[in-house]
A and B are shown apart, each in its own frame.
Chain A
């Protein structure tokens, strides 16, 4: 494979990864929650998309309008149900990791029970077509998924930048207690951010459903991938997540090309491991310590 091809595929995939990770990094930024269940929630949306496609022949990209609001609601509900209870805990961050770990187990078990462990995928018409640009092959599905992802990322950026709520979210990210002092309802903002993070997970799930085959236990691979790229970018930094996603997607494309696809996940695990050890603050973020 030539370098231009690797670069193009890496960038396209990186766009989707960036959107998957943006929700995770948003949650960490606003609430200091390392959400180990993020990929499990992405999978819920993938299965939802699968049901909609199989039964109503609904296009997976169109099904975003259903999965995103549903996941938003689920996110707010989960936040209100679980998190206010542990807010005062002296080991809050650690508690959130264990709590979301438990959530991930629950989601995985329910999905396996409902859909069995077999591989599923959604195959709309564009799943097997591709566009040819000179020497370059561009799979249509990846092009569409990437375009939608970048559009959503721009949307997220605009909301954070230009709306009053967005300003409140950014204020909470920078300094929680100071935001509270100037009148931000931090708990409401946290619930909202959790909902937004889940809505992004919903969108990611719909897009992934036609990019990769999926099964319930797959979320562990994805969460390792997502954590590695937001750790690389710096936790809590959305810009960092995007850059980390693009870098790692290209790196893993190179590893796949050189050593074969079985070794491609090693890019993510090794990066995660090395970054945590060498530069825990990542490229742009605050140091990931207690």
Chain B
């Protein structure tokens, strides 16, 4: 195990000592320094953006909406990365947790009048609970069987929600509007989503830097070897799966509230699940910064193409083509490929 530990840790660092292969202290300190600066700067940007944006953009509500979407996808793809990237178990069913979060918060609002913003932690926990059960079942399979099982899980839940009268079935559930001046309407959603996104990135960062994260990477490298070296692979995977559901649930709760109308297909559409996967893959599976880069890039490209060419079905074609191109030409994604060639700027090296 100790040998494995060393190997895994050193391969992640760009510059190593030529003699014993250990990272140079100066490089490590320098990296940590600019990583800290990078993280603080992006954090400040996220928090101050609604203020900075006021004088710059005419269509304030639109800009806030795009900002919220970016944060939402950061939250989702970073979470998905915990099981799909670190542990290497590709799930195409994570739309389920988005829906659990959205519907649990929506029902709490519609039936008991609890604000989804207050309900946020419970929405996350609900998603996590479902994730635990779903993980216990689906993670009995591996590789392609796991992918297929998660798709089956998605369709099972969709069918159930579509036919469940209590939550409005396929026609949906209406939520009361938030009581807020129209010009600033998007701001609370933006900040709530910022909390969810920062939580997801923080969780992902903490996992990447923990023994638990190391275990997950060992599982993704070679599950049998990981098991032999004493990792309880089954529980590692189930816990990773369950944790990955939490901030997808919170994102679903906020997003559902911002829509004021919940329909099963909004959450369960395979395109939603596909996007999380795509963002994590294009940014770099198994890295902390990758899903963030991927989310910003894909939301940006999507908004640009919608503004330029209108809301057409060609957007889904673009999603598919980007996925194909990434898989064929740089399967490690942007962050992974840059790191591999030693060109990753230190402020993006969050691992």
A residues with CB within 8 A of B: 34, 82, 85-86, 89, 91, 93-99, 101-110, 112-113, 216, 220-221, 224, 227-228, 231, 262-263, 265-266, 269-270, 272-273, 276-277, 280, 288-290
Contacts and interface: CB of A to CB of B under 8 A. Distances in A.
A102 B278 CA distance: 9
A273 B154 CA distance: 11
From A85, A113, A269, residue with most partner B Cβ within 10 Å = A269
A103 to B, nearest CB: 7
B281 A34 contact: no
The 4 closest A-B pairs by CB, nearest first: A105-B320, A109-B317, A106-B320, A109-B316
Given A112-B313, A263-B163, A102 B327 contact: yes
Contacts of B152: 224, 227-228, 269, 272-273, 276
Given A89-B331, A266-B159, 16 more contacts: A82-B328, A96-B144, A97-B147, A103-B320, A103-B324, A108-B320, A109-B315, A109-B318, A113-B313, A224-B151, A263-B159, A272-B149, A273-B137, A276-B145, A277-B137, A290-B144
B147 A34 contact: yes
A272 B138 CA distance: 11
B323 A98 contact: yes
Contacts of A82: 324, 328
Q: Name A's interface SS.
A: helix
Nearest to B139: A277
A113 B317 CA distance: 9
17 contacts: A89-B331, A93-B144, A95-B331, A98-B323, A99-B328, A102-B321, A105-B320, A106-B320, A106-B321, A109-B316, A109-B318, A109-B320, A220-B155, A220-B270, A224-B155, A228-B152, A290-B144
B266 to A, nearest CB: 14
B277 interface: yes
Contact of B323 (A93, A105, A107, A289): A105
B319 A86 contact: no
B314 interface: yes
B152 to A, nearest CB: 4
A113 B324 CA distance: 19
Given A97-B90, A266-B156, A273-B156, A112 B316 contact: yes
Interface in B292-335: 312-321, 323-324, 327-328, 331
Interface string B263-298: 000000011001001000100000000000000000
B342 interface: no
A156 B196 CA distance: 54
A265 B317 contact: no
Contacts of B315: 109
Contacts of A224: 151-152, 155
Contacts of B156: 266, 269-270, 273
A272 to B, nearest CB: 4
Interface string B235-263: 00000000000000000000000000000
A178 B25 CA distance: 51
Contact of B90 (A85, A94, A104, A220): A94
Interface in B326-350: 327-328, 331
Contact of B140 (A34, A270, A277): A277
B141 A280 contact: yes
A263 to B, nearest CB: 7
Contacts of B141: 276-277, 280, 288-289
A269 B277 CA distance: 22
A228 B155 CA distance: 12
A221 B158 CA distance: 11
A263 B160 CA distance: 9
Nearest to B170: A262
